[in-house]
Structure 1
Amino acid sequence: MRTARTPASAARGGRALYELYRAASRAVAPAVLLWRRVRGLEHPSRWPERLGRPSVVRPRPDSPLVWFHAVSLGEGMAALPVVRHCARLHPGLPILITTTTLSSFEVIKDLLPDGVIHQFAPLDCPDAIESFIRYWKPNLILLMESELWPNLILSASEKGIAVALLNGRISLKSFNRWSLPLGLQLVSLMLSRLSLVIPLSTIQAVRFQLLHTPPQIIHFAGDLKYVVGDIDAGEKEITAIEDLQQQFSNRPIWMAASIHRGEDEVVLRVHDELIKIYPTLLLIIVPRHPQDSKNVSLNLKKHNVNFVLRSTREVVSSNTSIYVVDTLGLFCLF
C-alpha cells in the first residue's frame, strides 16, 4: 500500500530536484548566452551583465538597495509605476531594475526616474546569480508577475534577502506543468522561500495556494499598474490614443500583432483578399521585434503598398492601407 508523502520528504524531493536544476543550469548557461548573442538578442557591449558582471558605468551605491526584477517589456512596464512610486516615497533610495530583452531596455531606459540603475538580468545559473548578488548586495528583491527562477529565489533566501512577487500570475499552461509531481516539489520549495506574494487576481491566488504557497504570505492589492499609476503618463497615453483614433475613425481595422520575420507575407496576402470585401480596411502590423520592421517596410515597398511607419509620425490618410508599428512605447494603440 502506498503511503502519503510527508512534508519533510516532499522538501527533500524538492531540494534534490533543485540541485539537479542547479547543475544543469550551470552547464547550459554558456551555450544559451552564446546562442542569444549570435542571434542578436543580447546587447552588443553589455552582454557580460548576463553573467552577473556589473556595468562599470554605474557602481553600487553605499547604502541599502532595492532590486526590481523583470524580464520582457510587459513585466518591465508593470514594474515602472511601482519603481516611480518607490522613488517618490523614498528619495535617495538606491533602486536597481533588471530586464532581459533588448526591447525592454530600449523603452524603459528613457522612462526610469533619475538615479534608478538599469542592468541586464543575470542568467538563472549559480555562478551568474552569485556574482550578481555578491556585487549588488540587495536588501530586498521584488520579482514581477511570473518570474519564478530557482537559483535566484533560493540563493537570495539562503543569504537572508527578502524576496516578494508582485502582480503574481501563473498561466494555466504553467500551472498544469508545475502541478505535475516533480514540478510541484520544486515550485513548492521556491514558493516557500518567498516573503510576500501579491497575486494579480483571485484566480491567480487560488493557483498559488494549490501550488503550496503559504497562505499567510498571500495578500491582495489589485493590479499594481493601476493602483500606483503615473497620472502624467496616463494623460499622455490618453492623448496619443485619441489622436490615433481620430486618424483611424470610420475605417474597419484589423491587426496582425507580434508577428515573426516572414509572416508579413502571409498577412499581406490575407489583407489583399479582405480589401476586396472592405475597400477602406486598414491593417496594423506589429512586428514581434522592432528591428524586423525594416524588412517589413522593404517588403511593402516591393509590393507598392501605401503604408505609414509609426516612427515617422505621418498622418494616416484615407489612402493608407497599412500602419506599421516599428517603435516601442508606453501606450497601446487602442
Structure 2
Amino acid sequence: MFTTSAFHLSDDRPSADTKKHEMKSVWRGRLAYEIYRAVTRAAAPALYYLVEWRRRRRWWRKQGNTESVPFAAPGVRPPGTPLVWVHAVSLGEALAALPLVHHHYSLSVPTSSFVILMTTTTFSAFEVVKDLLPDGVIFQMAPIDTPAAVKRFIGYWDPCAILLIESELWPNLILYAAQKGIKLGLLNARMSYKSFKRWSTPLALPLISLMLSKFSLIAPLSNTEALRYQLLGASPTIIHFAGDLKYAVGDYEVKEKENKTILDDLTDQISNRPTWLAASIHSGEEQVMIQAHNELIKIFPELLLILVTRHPRDGNRIGLELKRQEVNVAIRSKKEAISPSTCIYVVDTLGELRVLYRASGVAVIGGSFLPGLCGHNVSEAAAAACAILTGPHVGHFHHMLMEMRQINPFSVKQVIGLKELVEDLKVLLGDENIRKTHQNAAKESFEIMSKGVVHSVWYLVSNFVLQSVNPLNSK
C-alpha cells in the first residue's frame, strides 16, 4: 500500500490579510488554551479523586489489580535511551497500535535505538493489552489532561516523540509536548462529523487549530477525515495516507498456544451445532440479538448464540435475566460449560474475541443496532474468515465497510434492523455454499486491505516524526 499526500485546499500564497487573520487565530487559540488550562488546573483535585475512586472500585471487583493512577510515574525509565510514547485511549485503539509496536521490535536494526512507552486510558484496555505487548515495551496508564499531571508524566519519561492514536486531541498534553520540543504524530486519525461540528464552533476552532499546528504528521483514515482536519487548521503538508491500522489487528496472533487451547475447548463444547456470534454487544442491543435468536431456533432447534458483551459488567446482568426467563444459559466468567442444551452462551470476559470468531464462522458486529452507537472494527472477524453482518449505525467504520465491499460485495452485509438480520442469518445458517462464499469474501478483503498497512504507516512515522531518533528505522 503506497502512502499519498492529502489534497490541498488551496495553493495560493498567503496575502497580508491572510497573515493578519492567522495571527489573530493564533492569539485566540492561545487565549482559549489558557482558559482550558485554568479550568483543568482547578478541576485537578476532583479529577484525581474520581480516577482514584474508579481504580479502587476496579480493585474491589477484581483482586490483584495493580493499575497505577494517572498522577503516578511508576516503572523505570531506561537511562540514556530515547523513548517514544504511544498513546491509545481504549481497547480498539490500543489493538490498532499493537502491530506498529510489534513491527518496531521485529526490525533487524538494533532495537536499543529507542524504547516504546505505551499508555491507555481505560482499565479494560489496560487489562487486555498488558499481555499482548512484546518484551521491552513499558506499559502504563496515561495521565489525565491536567497541567500538573502532564508535566510530571512527560518530565519523568522524557519522550522524544509522541504518537497519538485516532482522536486523542488533549490540549495540555499536545501544547506542553510542543513547548518541550517533542515531535507529535496522529495516526489512524479520525474526525467524526459530530466532533468536527464541536471543534468548528467559534470558541473551539482557534484551540484545535493551535493544537494541529504542532503536529509533524497526521495520517487520516479517509479523504473525509483529511478534509475535516484541513478545515480545522491542519497544514496539508503534514497529512498523508497509509491505510487503516485496524486492518492489521486481526493479523497479529498472540499467545498462540493459549488461544489454540481455548479454541479446541470451545470447538469440543459446541460440537457440530450451528452457531452464530453476536460480538461487542452494547447495553440494549442484547434484546435485538435475543429476539433474532428466538426466531431462528424455530427453524434451527439446535442453534447456539454466543453473545459477547462489549462491557464485561453487562454479562452477569444479561445472564441472570435470561435465567429468570428460564432460558438455558451458560456464563463464561463463571466457568459454565456449553452443554448440548445450552441456548445462549454469554461471554463477559476480555481478550478472547478472535478465538470466538474462529469458533463460530458467522458474526454479527454490535455497537451498530441502536441510534447513537458508532460500530466496531470488522477486520478481526474478516481475518477469522467469518460471514459478517453489521447494523446501520457504523460511524467512522463506514469507510472500512465501503473499502471491503469494493473488493468483494459479499465481504460484509449491513442490515437495517431486526427483520433483515433474521432473514440474512437464516440464509447464512441454512446454506453452506452461501455461507462459504461470504466467509471467503471477508477473508479476501481483509488480506488485500491489510497488506502493507503497518509498513506504510511506519514509513511515514519514521520520516516525519522519528527521523531525529533513528534514521535507520525508515523501513
The amino acid that maps onto 2:34 is E
Give the superposition deviation at 1:33.
3.6
Equivalence for 1:50 = 70
Q: Which amino acid aligns with 1:173?
A: K
Residue of structure 2 equivalent to 1:83: 101
Name the CA distance, whole Å, in 1 between partners of 2:266 and 2:226. Answer: 37
Deviates more, 1:216-225 or 1:135-144: 216-225
Bigger shift: 126-135 or 324-333?
324-333
**8 A Cα contact 2:278 2:289, kept in partner:** no
Contact 2:51 2:69 (C-alpha < 8 Å) held by counterparts: no
Question: Does 1:141 find its partner at 2:162?
Answer: yes
Post-superposition Cα deviations, 1:41-92, rounded to whole Å, max 9, x if no partner, equal: 87647565312x211xx21111110100111101110111111111222523
Equivalent-residue separation in structure 2 for 1:244 and 1:208 (angstroms): 45
Q: Deviations over 1:224-268 (max 9, x none)?
A: 3446975545999998899979959885857384434xx589569
The aligned counterpart of 2:185 is: 164
**CA offsets 1:186-231 (integer angstroms, 9 cap, x no match):** 1111100111111112221111111111111111111134469755
Q: What is the CA–CA distance in structure 1 between the aligned matches of 2:206 and 2:272, rounded to whole Å?
A: 53
> Does residue 38 of structure 2 align to residue 20 of structure 1?
no
CA offset digits 1:295-333 (Å, max 9, x no partner) = 433333443322233457877566332121211226443
**In 2 relative to 1, CA 199–305 (structure 1 residues): closer, same or farther, beyond 3 Å?**
same
Partners of 1:213 and 1:248 lie apart in 2 by 54
TM-score by length of 1: 0.83
Q: Which stretch of the first structure deviates more once superposed, 268-277 or 207-216?
A: 268-277
> Gaps (5+ residues) in structure 1?
none
- The match for 1:186 among 195, 207, 212 is 207
Pair 1:219 & 2:240 matched: yes
Q: 1:174 aligns with which of 187, 195, 200?
A: 195
1:290: which partner in 2? 312
Asked if 1:306 corresponds to 2:323, the answer is: no
Question: What secondary structure does 2:241 align onto?
Answer: coil
Question: Per-residue deviation at 1:14?
Answer: 0.9
Give the match for residue 83 of structure 2: 65
- Percent of aligned pairs with the same amino acid: 49
Counterpart CA distance in 1 for 2:118 and 2:228 is 27
Task: Map 1:252-267 to 2 at 5 A.
Answer: 253=276, 255=278, 257-260=280-283, 263=284
CA distance in 1, matches of 2:229, 2:263: 35
Alignment CA distance shift 1:218-1:236 (3 Å): farther
- Cα 1:272–1:69 change in 2 (3 A) is closer
DSSP 3-state at the match of 2:86: strand
Give the Cα separation in 2 of the matches to 1:204 and 1:136: 31
- Separation of aligned partners in 2, 1:241 and 1:213: 46
Gaps of 5+ in 2: 1-16, 60-64, 358-380, 382-475
Separation (CA, whole Å) in 1 of partners of 2:285 and 2:247: 34
In structure 2, do the counterparts of structure 1 residues 36 and 298 end up closer, same or farther at CA, with 3 Å as the change threshold? farther
In the TM superposition, residue 106 of structure 1 has moved relative to its aligned partner by 0.9
Higher mean C-alpha displacement, 36-45 vs 244-253? 244-253
CA distance in 1: counterparts of 2:255 and 2:230, whole angstroms: 34
Which has the higher mean CA deviation after the structures are superposed, 25-34 or 161-170? 25-34
Q: Deviations over 1:16-36 (max 9, x none)?
A: 111111111122233234234
**Residues 131/172 of structure 1: CA separation in 2 closer, same or farther (3 Å cut):** same
- How many residue pairs get matched? 327
| CA root-mean-square deviation | 3.6
How many angstroms does 1:159 deviate by?
0.4
Matched, 1:111 2:126: no
Q: Distance in 1 between matches of 2:33 and 2:207?
A: 6
The residue type equivalent to 1:30 in the other structure is: P
Report if the CA contact (8 A) 1:11-1:185 is conserved: yes
The answer to which of 75-84 and 321-330 deviates more is 321-330
Number of the residue aligned with 2:374: none
The answer for the alignment partner of 1:195 in structure 2 is: 216
Structure 1 segments of 4 or more deviating over 6 A?
234-246, 312-315
Q: Could you tell me how far 1:288 is from its partner in structure 2?
A: 3.5
1:20 and 1:307 map into 2 onto residues whose CA distance is 53
**Within 2, Cα distance between the matches of 1:254 and 1:70?**
27
Mark the CA change 1:330 to 1:307 in structure 2 (over 3 Å): closer, same or farther.
closer
